[in-house]
């Protein structure tokens, strides 16, 4: 019984610390955020903060890793049935997840985010894309890597615009747009 209470308290503490950092990241860069600010906003003392995290960067990294893990779990829980539509299905699922978690995604993918997090996001479907392109389109792996980098960076930009500007397009519309651009370039419009 005591362990369950402790676990709930730890979960609550971590949750309020994460929410506090996200709130602060909406306003300023992480280098300008102090542990004192995070703790005051979370109504948690500094000793409690340091019991869980080494600094604000460690807290942000924890949030990022949690989000990546959740995206992967979300995708792994979905049965991609039609191999030809796996790209669309997977992109739709990613966009659904991003929309559901827009607040944290905006902060982590935005100006106050970390470029390494963007790279982690881009790696999520990397292997599936490269495998599909090298087998279906008879493209060598090196060219497929370049193509993937080009499309992934553009896709992150599209995701940022969609979330930050709260554009009224559904996840399937966004996934279709990205695939249209990936498959046909600007000539697809």
Domains parsed from the chain with CATH numbers: 1-53 (1.10.10), 64-188 (1.10.357.10)
Using alpha carbons, list the distances in angstroms from residue 14 to 18, 51, 133. 6, 10, 41
Which residues lie closer than 8 Å to 189 by C-beta, 6 or more apart? 180
Using alpha carbons, list the distances in angstroms from residue 111 to 48, 101, 160, 164. 29, 17, 10, 11
CA distance 179 to 129: 11
Q: What is the pLDDT of residues 88-120, one digit of tens each?
A: 777 888 888 889 988 898 888 877 778 888 888
pTM comes to 0.77
pLDDT classification of 23: cutoffs 50, 70, 90: very high
Residue 86 and residue 132 in contact, taking contact as beta carbons nearer than 8 Å: yes
Q: What is the pLDDT of residues 161-170, one digit of tens each?
A: 999 888 999 9
Q: Is the dihedral of CA 46, 49, 50, 55 positive or negative?
A: negative
């Amino acid at each position: 019984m005591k362990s369950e209470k402790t676990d709930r308290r730890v979960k609550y503490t971590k949750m309020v610390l994460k929410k506090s950092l996200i709130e602060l990241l909406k306003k300023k860069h992480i280098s300008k955020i102090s542990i004192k600010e995070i703790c005051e906003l979370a109504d948690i003392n500094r000793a409690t903060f340091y019991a869980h995290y080494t600094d604000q960067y460690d807290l942000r990294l924890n949030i990022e890793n949690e989000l990546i893990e959740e995206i992967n779990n979300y995708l792994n829980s979905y049965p991609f049935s039609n191999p030809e539509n796996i790209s669309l299905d997977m992109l739709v699922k990613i966009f659904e997840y991003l929309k559901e978690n827009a607040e944290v995604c905006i902060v982590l993918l935005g100006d106050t985010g970390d470029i390494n997090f963007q790279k982690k996001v881009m790696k999520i479907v990397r292997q599936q894309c490269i495998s599909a392109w090298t087998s279906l389109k008879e493209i060598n792996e090196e060219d497929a890597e370049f193509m993937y980098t080009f499309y992934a960076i553009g896709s992150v930009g599209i995701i940022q615009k969609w979330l930050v500007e709260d554009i009224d397009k559904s996840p399937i519309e966004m996934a279709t747009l990205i695939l249209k651009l990936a498959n046909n370039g600007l000539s697809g419009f």
